[in-house]
Structure 1
Amino acid sequence: MSVQQDKDNISLEWIKDQLNGFADLIDKTSVAPFGQINLLYIKSVTDAQTLSRHVIAPFYEMESISAYQDYIMTYPGTEEATTREKAIDLLLSGYVLLGIKDMIYFFDAMSTESSGVSETSAESISQGPSDALTEDIAINLNMIRRRYKSTNLKMETMVIGDVSKTKIAILYDDSRVDHNVLKELREKMGTLKVDILQATGELEKFISSDKLRILPKSIITERPDRVVFNLSEGKVAIVLDTTGYAIVLPSIFNDFFTSMDDKIQFPIVGRFLKLLRIIGVCMTLWLPALYVTLTSYNPEIIRVQIALLIAGSRATVPYPSFVEVLLMLMMMEFLTEASLRLPKAIGPTATTVGGLILGQAATAAGLVGNIMIILVSAVAISNFLIPLNMMSLSIRVLKYIFLIAAAFLGLVGVVVCVVGFAMYLCKQRTFGQPYFRLFFLDNLGKKKGGEH
């Protein structure tokens, strides 16, 4: 099966021009005494062993170029491309373009990475793909390119770290990306000076322009499907070697409350789930502060029955409500950290039993009220609703600012913190994009970068 170079204007030069910007595009020429062949393929989706065993080795074992051409034509893995679109699709799928004399062949050398790919652990979903990025950048690029078969998906590579020499790949859709964002990222990466780079979190911290920020402005994800979805949204993905996470930027506040499950569910179900997460964030930030406010400053706001119920539960508590809340929140933080540090075999059991014993003993001893145990449990559960760990950690810290403000100023302090937090969100920018907007730029997928 063959395609002549001038058929439908399919030629090596045209194909290489279409794949311009592919850092993993390999263009080689193999020469033997009887002739030569041209090889063109995408390294991240092509199996090197198949290429070496069934394409290159037989070439040097043949006695003539005609015999090798007959071998390629009759091989079951050879495909015919009668149109430009099919030629590009075959290359993006992992086929090798073979140029022999004036003929073009497409040889099946697809690479499907499965070994070393594990299931997601930090971003689990109930439906959809379950594979996670690995510590091998070649496998990660393979998983991304298999899902995003487009000539517009460009890749740039660089090495960062004077000692570690960490390989980095920058991926973006050239027809959707904002080129101003891409330019700013290149400038920051070009001026980055570091000895050792081992984690995506380190790189995200280095390229951030706001050193005193409390909220993340770039998503760090282990899911290749999240990376692909954000690439289609016009964002940029950074994949590092030796780490199983990728950076997606620019990311807005709304992105951190989106689970990949939301894209699979019915629209009304997906919006309901996102609303639950927003309510969970509000509960995490406000519940401890409101408890202190309603207990110590403004009990007249709530109904008399509830005020008496809270007062009765705190009858034996020897210290102010602020100390009570702070003590239980810190104990919950200790349990959360212990569950992460302990071995997986005993971590959940030890922290669950420890939490139950501590809560029951503290209530029986009169150190905390029963309602306080309910409140702390609600705060902990609502915080875990956030799909991405970076935002979850930030919200965990922010709730103490609300708590301190409530302890000193009461309800006024809570209101001031809410207004100040909203103003802070409205002021923030992520690579020039407004941080506190409900949706990312919807027209990124319709316009060329730099036109909006």
Structure 2
Amino acid sequence: MNTQETLLWINEQFANTNELTQKTLEYESKNISYMYIKSLIDKELLQKILLKPFFEMSNMDQYKLYVQALPQYQEISSKEQALLEIMNGNILLEIDNELLLIELKLSKNDAVSSASVEMTIHGSQLALSDNLMTNINLIRSYYRQPTLNIEYMSYGEVNQQKVALVYDSEKVNEQALKLIREKIQRVDKQLISAANQFNNYLNDKRFSLFPQMVMTERPDRVIYNIGGGKIIILEDGSSQSLAAPVVFFDFMITMEDDYHTIVISTFLRMLRYLGFFISLLLPSIYVGVTSFAPEVFRTELALTVAGSRMGVPFSSFVEVLFMLFFMELLLEASIRLPKAVSATATTVGGLILGTAVTEASLASNIMVIIVSAVAISTFVIPVNEMAFAIRIVRFLLILITTIFGLAGLTLGFLVFIMYLVSLDSFGEPYLRVYNYRKSKKRSEGQA
């Protein structure tokens, strides 16, 4: 194996990234060269095990024997192996025109916490850290490709926070990358404390209900998005990351979908979309049917609904708003209360409220069932930002249905679809169906 050809080939593989570090040391009659990926290497071990002995030992033969005697040393059989080991956290060392591999990998898995927002039963439970270099280390540990590129920037006049753009230079959406770079350059804020703030700063449609970027704390979701050609925004001091561009269907995906069989995954996706439509449309349908078109129900069901509303002094519109308003208060209280009491307080509060309003004839039993179904269905949506948007659209559809009935609900839902069609995320149509697996197979076939 030719040493110079191997080094040149490895440099070509990392031509589109600035992560590969290559240095040459010369002292008296001794000289060595070494290369590594800086986010994967324990720099203290590098200094202690390789650099300090280089300056202390008298000749290169002694130093070479010392390196080969290290327990971290391993032989190289091919240039492909050398490339893979560099991406696994090894240092490639050249001594007397001979290449040696020394493993000095920096492991950050013990420095990160468990996911607390995006919970899953199967798969990794790791979450991103508040430290930027720890997050870069995690990403590089799981995404071992030389085309992974990281761009570092600093923003915020007060705190000068360090921001990183992470993407695969071969798969990235170039148009979206150009737009994100331009928009980040225009960001002019005195204080930037979290990556989440870029969700607003980079969005041209500031009053858009729907998020233009996916917010995630999970390294496996970050890797999935990088493999799909997305750009990841990380910030030092923030445990959340942003992925762009996105489509609507990205917000209905969980990482567990890949851990089940296709039948189970399809069933779970159907449940999520069913929950999406229930949380969005069920209150409006109740208002439209009870106030404008009770004949839509079968006679027995219509009589049951009418009987449950006997004694209720309000119209169905006021009844729905009353119950949904208190449901929103309970959801907000569950977030603000201390963790030790939030679950108990909101559960007891919901039970007492549901029982009290029905006994006081302020709402019907059917309404309590509908509000409970809507609350449960809202929690099925995997990404919180999308759930927040649906909660607002739900009230708009109730208002339209109150004025125009079921015809207004139909029209409002069509306007909702048209609004989604008009949106884009950094040039990517919002309702475009994107299949990462098919695109991956297509790119591999072209290669």
Determine if the TM-score, normalized by the shorter chain, exceeds 0.5. Answer: yes
Shift of 1:423: 0.9
Moved more, 426-435 or 373-382: 426-435
1:383 corresponds to which of 365, 378, 384: 378
* Match of residue 50, structure 2, among 44, 48, 55: 55
Rounded Cα–Cα distance in structure 1 between residues aligned with 2:192 and 2:16 = 25
- Output the CA distance in 2 between the equivalents of 1:57 and 1:85: 29
> What is the aligned counterpart of 1:356 among 348, 351, 360?
351
Q: Structure 2 stretches of 5 or more lacking a match?
A: none
Report SS of the residue matched to 1:28: strand
Once the two structures are superposed, what CA deviation does each residue of 1:109-137 show, in whole Å capped at 9, x if it has no partner? 01211233111111111111110111011
Q: Is the Cα contact below 8 Å between 2:92 and 2:99 reproduced in 1?
A: yes
Q: Distance in 2 between matches of 1:104 and 1:161?
A: 44
Q: Structure 1 pair 109/264, CA: closer, same or farther in 2 (3 Å)?
A: same
Which of the numbers 279, 282, 286 marks the counterpart of 2:277? 282
Distance 1:408 1:213, change over 3 A: same
* Post-superposition offset of 1:441: 6.8
Structure 1 residue 123 corresponds to structure 2 residue 118: yes
Q: Tell me the secondary structure at the aligned position of residue 366 of structure 1.
A: coil
Deviation at 1:298, TM superposition (A): 1.0
Give the secondary-structure state (helix, strand or coil) at the position aligned to 1:345: helix
Q: Deviations over 1:223-278 (max 9, x none)?
A: 11011111111111111111111111111001100011111111121111111111
Q: Which amino acid aligns with 1:203?
A: F
Once the two structures are TM-superposed, the CA of residue 355 in structure 1 deviates from its matched residue by 0.9
Structure 1 residues 439 and 18, CA gap change in structure 2 (3 angstroms): closer
Q: What residue is the counterpart of 2:10 in the other structure?
A: 15
* The one of 79, 85, 90 aligned to 2:74: 79
Q: 1:137·1:242 contact (CA, 8 Å) conserved in 2? A: yes
Cα shift at 1:290: 0.8
Alignment of 1:28-427 (within 5 A): 28-427=23-422
Return closer, same or farther for 1:86/1:111 CA change in 2, 3 Å cut-off: same
Q: Percent identity?
A: 36
Is the aligned partner of 1:431 residue 2:429? no
Q: CA deviation at 1:33?
A: 3.1
Equivalent-residue separation in structure 1 for 2:429 and 2:98 (angstroms): 52
Q: Distance in 2 between matches of 1:209 and 1:352?
A: 40
Please tell me whether the aligned partners of residues 198 and 243 of structure 1 are also in contact (alpha carbons under 8 angstroms): yes
Structure 2: distance between partners of 1:4 and 1:103: 9
In 2: Cα distance, 1:38 partner to 1:159 partner = 31
Is there any run of 5+ residues in structure 1 with no aligned partner, and where? none
Deviation at 1:444, TM superposition (A): 4.8
TM-score between both structures, scaled by the size of structure 2: 0.95
- Over aligned residue pairs, what C-alpha RMSD do you find? 1.7
Give the CA deviation at 1:443. 6.4
Residue deviations 1:345-398 (CA, integer Å, cap 9, x gap)? 011001111111111111111111111110000000000001111111111111
Check conservation: 2:196, 2:241, Cα contact below 8 A: no
d(CA) in 2 for partners of 1:99, 1:283: 64
- For the pair 1:5 / 2:3, whether they are aligned, the reply is yes
Q: C-alpha distance in 2, partners of 1:201/1:77?
A: 40
**Residue-by-residue CA offset, 1:137-164 (whole Å, 9 max, x unaligned):** 1111111111110111111111111222
SS state of the match for residue 276, structure 1? helix
Which is further off, 352-361 or 43-52?
43-52
Cα distance between partner residues in 1 of 2:62 and 2:437? 55
The offset of 1:320, in angstroms, is 1.0
**1:284-314 C-alpha deviation (Å, 9 max, x unpaired):** 1111111111111111111121111111111
Instruction: Give yes or no for contact 1:176–1:445 (8 Å, CA) kept in 2.
Output: no
Query: 1:208 & 1:446 partners in 2: Cα distance?
Result: 32
Which residue identity does 1:300 align to in structure 2?
E
Aligned AA (1:5): T
Alignment partner of 1:316: what SS? coil
CA–CA separation in structure 2 for the residues paired with 1:301 and 1:20: 65
Q: CA deviation at 1:14?
A: 3.2
Give the AA of the match of 1:335.
L
Contact preservation (8 Å) 1:156, 1:169: yes
Contact 2:109–2:138 under 8 Å retained in 1: no
Separation (CA, whole Å) in 2 of partners of 1:440 and 1:184:
23
> Per the alignment, in what secondary structure is the counterpart of residue 122 of structure 2?
coil
Partner Cα distance (2:59, 2:2) in 1: 20
Residue 442 of structure 1: how far off its partner (Å): 6.5
- 2:302 is paired with a residue whose SS is helix
Mapped partners of 1:338, 1:236: distance in 2: 34
SS at structure 2 position matched to 1:170: strand
The TM-score, its normalising length taken from structure 1, stands at 0.94
